[in-house]
Structure 1
Amino acid sequence: MMIIEEDMVKEVIIKEGRRIDDRGFKDYREIKIEKGIVKNAEGSSLVEIGGTKVIAGVKLEPGDPFPDMPNEGVLVVNAEFVPFSFPEVLPGPPDENAIELARVIDRIIRESKSIELEKLQIPNTKKVWKVAIDVIVLDNDGNMKDAAILASIAALLDARFPSYKIESEEEIKVDYATKTEERLPIQRIPFGVTIAKITGKLMIDPNLIEEEAAEAILTVGGFEENSKLFLCALQKAGNKGFTYDEIVQAIDIGLEIGKSLVKILK
């Protein structure tokens, strides 16, 4: 059945120059973002792109810095899929898809220097704040990367520090039931735009059928600063490749579309 649908996707593009759901090649499906949905997290969000649904939660806790970065906070990203959220996902430990998803999110946040990690030192202690982002894919109808990146950034923007008391250099008591008004030091809002190549055509936000039909897929990570757009990450998937010109075109498309995602997040 999937093979027939893939052939239909390609045939419509070749013969009619359009996508099977009639979107333009640079059009997202409807995007919905809801913040603050997980009450026991310091920040959270639910993002829907079409039929794809992803939830992200942010936990903040005092911890030890990495030995080679003693003056910086710690960022950790984990991702998992709800069993049967799409056909390939079965109950069990995180698979390679979940690991790859977490790496993409981590890379875009880290390489954009979105969070000022050096500001996460806890004064008068040897501790720093650990920022843990947990991403759960609830439903996958394609392009879960963009949804997961949006959900992660929205959750970071939603996060507030819990109340805490410094007992000593090594001990900090945290009252997670009480949130302060202090936000994470976010200096840039990054984005990720995923572009599929099908029959030589480039299109953003591939749905699940389009992903199956794609020869190659590229996720473009970037950020905006002082009204300028910057590239910070690329992640390729799929069995085939892109030409140099296609990569340049995909980056241009990704940065152009990414600007609109930043506006949604703000």
Structure 2
Amino acid sequence: MTSYEIIPLPSKKTLLALLDKGERKDGRDFNSYRDIEISTNVIKSAEGSAQVKIGNTIALAGVKLILGQPYSDTPDQGIQIVNAELVPLASPSFEPGPPDEDDIELSRVVDRVLRSSNMIDLNKLSIIKGKKVWIVYIDIYILNHDGNLFDASIMASVAALLTAKIPKVEITDENKVRLTEEYINLPIKDLPIGVTFSKIGNNIIVDPCYEEERLSDAMITIGINKENNICTLQKRK
């Protein structure tokens, strides 16, 4: 990723002075999120989709399902695959080309939160053990970057999965799979969320904006399931 900035950032000294007074540049307290907006069914060609805005950050998630073979070590489970793309127009620091380490890290963290919370009941996506299962693709696109991509992407993925529909299947006498015209909800077991904290100097804040992220000493994203149990942690600089 490139390191240049178009809009000058406030100096770390100025930002630290604000934080030491218990203030943030946008007026929030340390434990407050920016305004959150969730829109669902925004991609008509997808089985499920959602767009999430946290402040000016925008994450779009789409769900596609295809029939395929299970992994050999989990012959009676469906498959979950997460991909993320940081769209170049979303930030001057995003570059076109194949997925880089930032795309990969974002997709891995979202995948880990969904998987460790058992959000999707993968056992119910098995059709013929060892031969045929549903494969769930969750594709994430960052459309605008103003900080906290992880929470926005997790939220968009969860909302998209909640809207996803799959066709009922029938097994023929020849042991083949036939898709019916009846659709059902994707089997869901949990509703995880991600909460990201940023450490700047001696202060810890939630939902850092872009300027706060650029000056952070460290950040951590905590995945939490519906029982308020921690299911994953991801620390980064």
Asked if TM exceeds 0.5, the reply is: yes
Aligned Cα root-mean-square deviation (Å): 1.9
Q: Distance in 2 between matches of 1:115 and 1:205?
A: 26
Q: Distance in 1 between matches of 2:225 and 2:123?
A: 20
- 1:229-265 CA-to-partner distances (Å, cap 9, x unmatched) read 2111000111xxxxxxxxxxxxxxxxxxxxxxxxxxx
Unaligned residue ranges in structure 1 (runs of 5+): 239-266
> Displacement of 1:181 after TM fit?
3.8
Pick one of 112, 128, 132 that aligns with 2:133: 128
Q: Which amino acid aligns with 2:54?
A: I
Maintained 8 Å contact 2:22/2:30: no
Maintained 8 Å contact 1:2/1:209: no
Q: What residue in structure 1 maps to residue 153 of structure 2?
A: 148
Q: What residue in structure 2 maps to residue 250 of structure 1?
A: none
Q: Distance in 2 between matches of 1:59 and 1:29?
A: 30
TM-score, scaled relative to structure 1: 0.81
Give secondary structure in 2 for the equivalent of 1:101.
helix
> Displacement of 1:172 after TM fit?
3.7
Deviates more, 1:34-43 or 1:115-124: 115-124
> Displacement of 1:144 after TM fit?
0.6
Pick one of 66, 80, 87 that aligns with 2:85: 80
- 1:209-242 CA-to-partner distances (Å, cap 9, x unmatched) read 00011111000011123xxx2111000111xxxx
> Displacement of 1:147 after TM fit?
0.2
Q: Is 1:217 paired with 2:219?
A: yes
Q: What residue in structure 1 maps to residue 194 of structure 2?
A: 192
Q: Which amino acid aligns with 1:207?
A: C
Maintained 8 Å contact 2:22/2:29: no
Q: Percent sequence identity over matched residues? A: 43
Q: Is 1:11 paired with 2:14?
A: no
Number of equivalent positions: 230
Unaligned residue ranges in structure 2 (runs of 5+): 1-6
Q: What residue in structure 2 maps to residue 258 of structure 1?
A: none
Q: Distance in 1 between matches of 2:199 and 2:130?
A: 51
Q: What residue in structure 1 maps to residue 4 of structure 2?
A: none
> Displacement of 1:23 after TM fit?
0.2
TM-score, scaled relative to structure 2: 0.91
Runs of 4+ in 1 over 3 A off after TM superposition: 1-7, 162-169, 171-175
Q: Distance in 2 between matches of 1:2 and 1:212?
A: 11
Maintained 8 Å contact 1:18/1:24: yes
> Displacement of 1:52 after TM fit?
0.3
Maintained 8 Å contact 2:76/2:130: no
Q: Distance in 1 between matches of 2:214 and 2:153?
A: 19
Q: Distance in 2 between matches of 1:144 and 1:64?
A: 32
- 1:53-112 CA-to-partner distances (Å, cap 9, x unmatched) read 010000111110000000000000000011131121111111111100000000001111
Maintained 8 Å contact 2:77/2:122: yes
Give secondary structure in 2 for the equivalent of 1:12.
helix
Q: Which amino acid aligns with 1:117?
A: L
- 1:136-175 CA-to-partner distances (Å, cap 9, x unmatched) read 0000100010000000000000000136565544x54558
Q: Distance in 2 between matches of 1:90 and 1:124?
A: 42
